[in-house]
Amino acid sequence: MLSRFTTCFLAFALSWLFFSSLANATECRAQKNKDKRASPTAEGRLALEELTRSNDALAQSPRLSIQQLVQQGYIRLGSANVQPIGRENTQERLSVVEILFPQAFTGVYVNDYLLDQNDRGNIERVLQNAFKPTLRVQVENKNWVDQRFHRGILVFAPGNGSDHSTAKSVVKIASAFHRKPASKGKKVAIVDGGLKMASFAMDLPGNGMGIDAPVDFLSEMGLGQVFRHVRLVLKHVYGDLPFFFAGRSHGASASLGYGHFFNDVTGVIGMNPQIPERELIDNMIRNLESPDIMNTLFGRPVKLHWHSWIPAKYFWYSYEFHKTKSQVPELLLIGQKDPTFSQVLAIDNSNPNDPKAILSSVKARLAIKNYLHAQPDRRQALIVAGGHHNLWDKDAAEIYRQVIEKMVEFMQPLVDHHEAKSSGH
């Protein structure tokens, strides 16, 4: 016969096992749902096929007006009250207006610097005022004159989302090219008198405006069609102007990939892209899922947004843009101390003497070198000593200056050439 103590102990043990099993089962179901989120679906494939057909129709169509694009469901006005992720309970707002591209599950954020308050609720006025080929300014003799202003379109693509928003840095880098700084003393004044582009930020599938995108849209060709949709819609809105994609992280790989599969842009820029070789992808995933490395990167614990992170991991291994020839000029911006992808140093911060990390470092350097040397006439690079993952961070003033100058140096002759060709010279 069991004592009262033994009976109570057995009851406690059985209860612990039951609730532990229940918790484990719940965790397994959650993981199963995440894994399911990573897998392509029949519905997703159909949606991607429909987007491809829509893009083909846009490419063949005579130029559509903004109202026609609205009527045919290509664009619609989103929010003019955009908050960064993680700041929903604050008064913080981004100085942008959303223009949604529903068929591609994305859209662009229009910088509101050149918008009147009354324009923010009118999609036609928002888009018309976002691009200004000339701007009326007051010169020294107090006379007002029209000066040349925006010379093309520049679309910025961020990386995968997390619970720590970096949207402000993307909006700020877009504003550096979008407008003339008011003061010569500002850090972005190097753009003053130089290259000004109508600049927009977009979202990748699984993030922000793309939160409901099918998993298939994060495949290499899915991203290509999403970017193609953005390119084609903006071409209908603004005409055949010089056009660049500039991406960071996953957005960099998507931007570079676009230039390999399509030739309808003037150039592409990729900051700290993933070179899709298995060992480098393994190393990158390990680093991005390391709390210590993420804490080093952001200065606080950060969780990746699994709606985009899980399918991104699934598809990265199948990306093949690095195996093909680029059809447009490319600029790579590489941070030498990027603790996430570590594609130049590729050293595991927790154990820098680990032979596997050192081997990965050699392979990473070789991968970057081989990628650049495969097409030296089309590919340029800036390796930023001391640079980390986000080289568009204005707080790192010297690095920011180097990066902006290199981007201007890369784009300026391409814009000049496009304009000369368009004018028949």
What is the mean pLDDT of the segment spanning 156-182? 70
Concatenate the DSSP letters of all residues of 119-132 into one string.
Answer: GTT-HHHHHHHH--
Query: For 137-142, what is the mean pLDDT?
Result: 64
Backbone angles phi, psi at 401, to 5 degrees: -60, -45
Which of 249, 266, 280, 281 has its CA nearest to residue 391?
249
Strands 153-157 and 198-202: parallel
**Residue-level pLDDT at 358:** 47
Q: Residue 235 and residue 247: Cα distance in Å, rounded? A: 19
pLDDT band at 138 (very low <50, low <70, confident <90, very high): low
Is residue 260 within 8 A of residue 268, CB to CB? The reply is no
Q: What is the pLDDT of residues 24-33, one digit of tens each?
A: 333 333 344 4
> Contact 286/342 with Cβ under 8 angstroms?
no
Does 425 score more than 60 pLDDT? Answer: yes
Query: pLDDT: is 100 or 169 the higher one?
Result: 100
CA distance 92 to 70: 30
Identity of the amino acid at 140: E
Handedness of CA 393, 408, 96, 207 (dihedral sign): negative
Bridge partner list, 243: 153
CA-nearest of 390, 396, 387 to 169 is 390
- pLDDT for 162 beyond 50: yes
The CA-to-CA distance between both ends of the chain, in Å, stands at: 103
- pLDDT, tens only, 9-56: 444 444 444 333 333 333 333 344 444 456 778 888 999 999 999 999
The pTM of this model reads 0.82
Question: pLDDT-derived band of residue 388, with 50, 70 and 90 as boundaries?
Answer: confident
User: Is the pLDDT assigned to residue 222 strictly greater than 90?
Assistant: yes
Q: Is the separation of the CB atoms in 402 and 382 below 8 Å?
A: yes
Average pLDDT, stretch 162-169? 60
**Greatest mean pLDDT range, 81-85, 168-172, 288-292, 320-324:** 320-324
Helix (H) or strand (E) holding 108: strand 106-111
- Distance separating alpha carbons of residues 272 and 390, to the nearest angstrom: 8
Query: Per mean pLDDT, which of 66-80, 112-126, 199-213 is the most reliable?
Result: 66-80
Pairing mode of beta strands 267-271, 76-77: unpaired
* Residue length of the chain: 425
Per the structure block, which two tokens stand in for 97? 């207006």
Largest CA distance in the chain: 106
Helix (H) or strand (E) holding 202: strand 198-202
How many whole angstroms separate alpha carbon 99 and alpha carbon 206? 17
Q: What's domain 141-422's superfamily in CATH?
A: Alpha/Beta hydrolase fold, catalytic domain (3.40.50.1820)
For residue 69, with 0-12 CB atoms within 10 Å meaning exposed, 13-18 middle and 19 or more buried, which class applies? buried
Given the DSSP bridges, would you call strands 243-248 and 153-157 parallel, antiparallel or unpaired? parallel
Please return the burial class of 346, using the count of CB atoms within 10 Å of its CB with bins 0-12, 13-18 and 19+. buried
Residue 135's SS3 state is: strand
Write out the DSSP string of 1-16.
---HHHHHHHHHHHHH
Q: Mind listing the pLDDT tens digit for each residue in 258-270?
A: 999 999 999 999 9
Tens digit of pLDDT for each residue in 334-352?
887 776 554 444 333 444 4
Q: How far apart are CA 421 and CA 417, in angstroms?
A: 6
Residue 227 near residue 254 (C-beta atoms within 8 A): yes
Q: What is the pLDDT of residue 45?
A: 92
Domains of the chain, residue spans: 141-422
Rounded Cα distance between 161 and 167, Å, is 9
